[in-house]
Amino acid sequence: MADISGHDRAKSRNVRALRALWPFVRRYRGMVAVASVALVLTAVVSLVLPIAVRRVVDGFETSAADLLDSYFTAALGLALLLALGTGLRYYLVTRLGERVVADIRIAVFERMIGMSPAFYERIMTGEVLSRLTTDTTLILSVIGSSVSVALRNALILAGGLALLFVTSPKLAGLVLLLVPVIVVPIVVLGRRLRTLSRENQDWIAASSGNASETLLSVQAVQAFTHEAESRKAFSEVTERSFRSARSRIATRAVMTVIVIALIFSGIVGVLWVGARDVRMDAMTVGELVQFVIYSVMVAGSVGALSEIWGELMRAAGATERLVELLNA
């Protein structure tokens, strides 16, 4: 049986382990390029929409009906462009993920089918099957969704911060003071989450391997009346998998609560200051609305990135284990 504790295998220290997927992804450079263009397009349109909203809000004070109509028309056009770009990005990225994962499964199976019997004396067949199913499913989630969402949110975060300063340097400076407070729990809890994610995947593989080995030799198990011991062994491994998952879920939940609480508490405070500036005619209502939208976008991006970070850590561990099989 393979060592499920992970002490003899390299740990996933960061998302760089995902670079091992590049040989499979680079075969489809054209699809990646088009998906990247669609991703950048949707991010840019998302950042332009608040400006259109500001024009509409401030346009309520003008008597020129044609000008107000043009603002609404521009906002509607941007919304349609965003919808089309998002649909194209989803189709291309999801298709790319399915294609790459199919290639990985084929490559791993071709490698495993040629391994010597001695190899299968050191590792359970069920663990290999778990790598082909559970780990590749994690990678599919990352390539087909998480990476795209992470890049889009990173662009919105960077662009949103820049446009916050353009809209109101004073309020943006207050927002920027919150960044170190938010980053610290992400880094600290992210390291803990990475360790727990790897441990959880190891126990899942052990559980699958135990079930596979037992069921493949069920006649021998029954012949020696070993059913009770087999049930107990499988139950113990599965319970350990659950306890590991519970720790991972709790850590991720705590990180999410801390990040979201800090972000939105800061936003409320900043908006309080902004409302006073509007009353003193230091900024228009439209500019405050634009700032609010950008603030929510930036906060949402940070929250999404904190969520996706956990998925990337799990996928990094899954990638390492699949690479171990490919290089066995």
Q: What angle do CA 21, 37, 29 make, to 5 degrees?
A: 35
Is residue 10 predicted with pLDDT exceeding 70?
A: no
Work out the average pLDDT over 8-20. Answer: 58
Q: In the prediction, which pLDDT does 174 show?
A: 80
Give the pLDDT band of residue 3 (cuts 50, 70, 90): very low
Q: In the prediction, which pLDDT does 125 show?
A: 76
Q: Are the CB atoms for 318 and 139 separated by under 8 Å? A: yes
Q: Are the CB atoms for 38 and 85 separated by under 8 Å? A: yes
pLDDT digits (tens, 9 = 90+) for 124-167: 777 788 778 878 887 888 787 778 888 888 899 889 888 888 88
Q: In the prediction, which pLDDT does 1 show?
A: 39
Q: Which residue has the higher pLDDT, 272 or 186?
A: 272
Q: How far apart are CA 30 and CA 141, in angstroms?
A: 21
Identity of the amino acid at 241: S
pLDDT digits (tens, 9 = 90+) for 65-93: 676 677 778 778 888 888 888 888 889 88
Q: How far apart are CA 307 and CA 222, in angstroms?
A: 46
What mean pLDDT value characterizes the chain? 80
Output the six-digit token pair for 328.
């066995």
Identity of the amino acid at 104: I
pLDDT digits (tens, 9 = 90+) for 153-202: 889 988 988 888 888 888 888 877 777 777 777 777 777 877 787 777 77
Q: Are the CB atoms for 314 and 197 separated by under 8 Å? A: yes
The CATH H-level (homologous superfamily) assignment of domain 15-326 is ABC transporter type 1, transmembrane domain (1.20.1560.10)
pLDDT digits (tens, 9 = 90+) for 97-110: 888 888 888 888 88
For residue 121, give every residue at least 6 positions away whose Cβ sits within 8 Å of its Cβ, in sequence order, or none: none
Q: In the prediction, which pLDDT does 8 show?
A: 39
Residues in the chain, total: 328
Q: What is the largest CA-CA distance in the chain?
A: 91
Is residue 4 predicted with pLDDT exceeding 70?
A: no
Q: How far apart are CA 205 and CA 129, in angstroms?
A: 8
Q: Are the CB atoms for 297 and 42 separated by under 8 Å? A: no
- Percentage of the residues of the chain whose pLDDT score is greater than 70: 92
Q: How far apart are CA 47 and CA 294, in angstroms?
A: 8
pLDDT digits (tens, 9 = 90+) for 231-271: 888 888 888 888 888 888 888 888 888 878 877 787 788 77
- Percentage of the residues of the chain whose pLDDT score is greater than 90: 0
Q: Are the CB atoms for 6 and 198 separated by under 8 Å? A: yes
Phi, psi of 175 (to 5 degrees): -65, -40
Q: Are the CB atoms for 142 and 93 separated by under 8 Å? A: no
Q: In the prediction, which pLDDT does 129 show?
A: 80
Q: Are the CB atoms for 315 and 18 separated by under 8 Å? A: yes
Work out the average pLDDT over 197-209. Answer: 77
